[in-house]
Structure 1
Amino acid sequence: MKSTIADIAKIAGVAKSTVSRYLNGGSVSDITRRKIEQVIKETGFTPNTFAQSLKAKKTNMIGAIIPRLDSFSASQTVTGMDEELRAHGYQLLIVNTSQDLNREIEALYDLARQKISGIILFATQITEAHMQAIKEIEIPVIFLGQQHKEVHSIIYNDYAAGYEIGRYILNKGHKHIAYLGVTEMDVAVGVQRKQGFQSALNEQAQAVATYYESGFKMSDAVIAASAILDENPPSVIVCATDNIALGVMKAAFMRGIHIPEQLSVTGFGGYDITEVIHPGLTTVKYGYMQGGRLAARQIIKLVNDETVEALTVLGYELMDRESVDKV
C-alpha cells in the first residue's frame, strides 16, 4: 500500500505539517530533516508533486513551450529534457502552440499563473511581445534554438554547419546548386544555415547557387521542389531541414529522377528516418536529446539562483551517406 504524508509523519514522530513543510522546501531542523529523510528512504514514499505545486510558492514544475508536436527535433529534445528533470525531482509541463506566435505569448503568461518555476521556450522567432512577457512574468526563461542578449540561450552552430555542408558539396564537384530554405524570420534555420552555406560558396567562383523558400512541412517541400525540378534541375539541392530534403526526394521519385545519380540531396537535422531510407540522406546531425538535457540542467540552476552562461553553442556532426554523388 502506498505511504502517505500522514504515514511518514507518524513513523518519524512529527506533525503532518512538518513533513509537508519539508517536502515543499520549508525550514525544518537538521534532526527532523534526517528523521523524515530516513523514513522516506525506508518506505519508498513518493510525494504527490501536483498537490505540492498547488501549495508551494515555488513549484517543482518546469514549463516547455514548443511550436509543434509532430517534430522529430522537438520530440527528441523534450524526451531528454523530461528525463533530466525527473532525475532532479522536477516535473515537465508541455504547451504546444502549433506554430502560432500569439499562443506562445499567451503560454508564457499562462505558465506564470500556474506558478511554474522556470520556462524553456523552443524559439523560432523572438519578438518584442516575447521580451515584454518575459520581463513581466519575472520567471527564469531559457531560449532553445534562438539567441537573445537579454535571455539565457542555447543554440546549435547553424552557421558552421551550413559552411561545412557548402564545402562538402563543392568538394564533390557540384557547381549548379539549388538551396531550398525557409523564412528568414527563423534566424537559426532561415538565416544562419544559409549564410554559412553562402560563405563556403563565396570561396568557389565557379559554383552558382539559386535560392528558394519552402515551408517546414514535407508537403510544402514537395511543391517547392517540383517547381525547381520542372524549371531548371540543378545537380544538387541543399535543404535547410531533413523534412524539406525528404520532400525533395519524393518530388524526384515522382518524376523518375534517381538519387544520387541524377540529383544529389542534403539536409540538416539528423532525423532517424534519414539513416534507414535508401539512399541514406547526407545531413548534419544535431544532438537534440543532449540539448534537451542541457536545457533542463540550466533551467534548474536558474531556478535555484545559480550562475549559467548567457549563451551556450552546441555542436553537430556531418553524416556522409549515399544521397550525394561526385560530379
Structure 2
Amino acid sequence: MITISDIAKIAGVAKSTVSRFLNGGSVGDATKKKIERAIEETGYTPNPFAQSLKAKKTNIIGTIIPRLDSYAASHTVIGIDQQLKENNYQMLISNTSQNIEREIESIYSFSNQKAAGIILLATEITPAHEEAFEAVQIPVILIGQEHAHMHSVIHDDFHASLSMGQYVIEKGHRKIAYLGVTEKDIAVGVKRKRGFQKALEDCPDCEARYFESEFNIPAAQQAAERIFSCNFNPSIIVCATDNIALGVLKAAYQKGIRVPAELSVTGFGGYDITEVIHPGLTTAKFFYHEAGATAAKNMLKLIDQEEVEITSISKYQIIERESVDILV
C-alpha cells in the first residue's frame, strides 16, 4: 500500500511537503510536478478526507453532539453516518460535553475545515449560535430543536407528551408529579411540559405539580427524593426523559417504594434499557436513527441546492410496559 512517505521518497521531498500539496497548500511548480509524477507512477490515491480538503466542493459533514454517552445522540449519529456513507460523504464528529462555548467553536472549526455542511444536535439556540450560522455561510441543519429560520429535524415532543398525559389519565391517575428539565431546552423543557399540561386541561379533578431535574440519573435520583419528601404523595411521576425515569426508579427502590404498586413511573425516549429492566418502563419512543437519516438526506439536498422543508417532524410511539398501575 502506497503511503505519503513513499510519495515523498520518490519525489525527493519532505513528507510535510506532500501533505501540504494534498491539502491544497502552496507548493512550488517544480516540486508540484515531482509530486504529481510520483503519484501518477505509483497510482497513489489520497484518502477521501485529504481529497475533500483541497476540493472546492468537499465531502465532509461536520456533526456536533452534546454528549458521547447519550443514547439519543449515538443512535442519531448512526443514522446520519449510514446515510452519508451511502452517498460517499464522510462525517466528522465534535463532542462538546454540553459546553455551549465549545459548540460555537465547533461551528467555526468545521467551516475552517471546509465542511460542506454542519448537523447540530442542539439543546438550545443562543444569539451566539445564530451569529455563527450567519458567519460560516454553509448549510446547517438542527436536530432536536426548532428554529424559525433554520432547517431542522425535530421529534414531536408536544404531541408525544400530550399522548402520554392522556394515557396517564386513562389509567386513572389523578395526583401527578411531572419531573422535567430546564426551559432553556425548548424541545424537552418546554414542549414536553406544555403537551402534558394540555392533556390535563381535560381532567379537572387532576392535581399536578411540576419539578425540575438535570438530564443525568444521579440528579434525577436526588429530584425524586425531594418529591418523596414534600408531602405530595403522587400516584405517578411522569419523567421528561428515560434517564430521569431511571433515576426515579433507583430512588424508589432505595426508599422501598414498590413500582408500580405504590408509585407509577413513565419516561420519554424509548432507550433499549427501558425494555430490559424490571419493571419495564412505559415510555414515549422516539425514532432517533430515522431522524438522523432524515437530517443527512436533507443536508445532501441543501448541498445540491434542492428545496427542503424548513422543519421535518419525526414520529413517536407510546410503548406500554409494567411501570404504570391501573387505578380505574
Q: TM-score range by the shorter chain?
A: 0.7 to 0.9
The CA deviation at 1:3 is 11
Cα deviation code 1:213-235 (max 9, x no counterpart): 00000010000001111222210
SS of the residue aligned with 1:268?
A: strand
CA RMSD of aligned residues (A): 1.6
Aligned partner of 1:193 in structure 2 is 192
Aligned partner of 2:82 in structure 1 is 83
- 1:322 and 2:325 are equivalent in the alignment: no
The CA deviation at 1:57 is 1.8
Mapped partners of 2:264, 2:188: distance in 1: 21
Cα deviation code 1:212-261 (max 9, x no counterpart): 00000001000000111122221000000000000000000001111000
Aligned partner of 2:144 in structure 1 is 145
Mapped partners of 1:198, 1:205: distance in 2: 12
Mapped partners of 2:201, 2:160: distance in 1: 16
Mapped partners of 2:3, 2:319: distance in 1: 50
Aligned partner of 2:293 in structure 1 is 293
Q: 1:229 to 1:308 in 2, by over 3 A?
A: same
Mapped partners of 1:251, 1:69: distance in 2: 25
Query: What TM-score, normalized by structure 2, do the two folds share?
Result: 0.85
Mapped partners of 1:51, 1:74: distance in 2: 27
Mapped partners of 1:140, 1:259: distance in 2: 47
SS of the residue aligned with 2:141?
A: strand
Mapped partners of 2:234, 2:146: distance in 1: 34
SS of the residue aligned with 1:294?
A: helix
Q: 1:114 to 1:176 in 2, by over 3 A?
A: same
The CA deviation at 1:2 is 7.7
SS of the residue aligned with 2:229?
A: helix
Q: 1:274 to 1:46 in 2, by over 3 A?
A: farther
- Percent identity between matched residues is 56
Cα deviation code 1:274-319 (max 9, x no counterpart): 0010100000000000111111111111111111111111110000
Query: What TM-score, normalized by structure 1, do the two folds share?
Result: 0.86
Uncovered stretches (5+) of structure 2, i.e. residues with no partner:
5-23, 25-43
Matches within 5 A, 1:212-251: 212-232=211-231, 233-251=233-251
Aligned partner of 1:50 in structure 2 is 49
Matches within 5 A, 1:23-62: 48-62=47-61
Mapped partners of 1:159, 1:258: distance in 2: 30
Mapped partners of 1:255, 1:314: distance in 2: 37
Aligned partner of 1:163 in structure 2 is 162
Mapped partners of 2:45, 2:260: distance in 1: 55
Uncovered stretches (5+) of structure 1, i.e. residues with no partner:
5-23, 25-44
Name the count of aligned residue pairs: 288
SS of the residue aligned with 1:82?
A: helix
Aligned partner of 1:280 in structure 2 is 280
Mapped partners of 1:286, 1:134: distance in 2: 27
Aligned partner of 1:34 in structure 2 is none
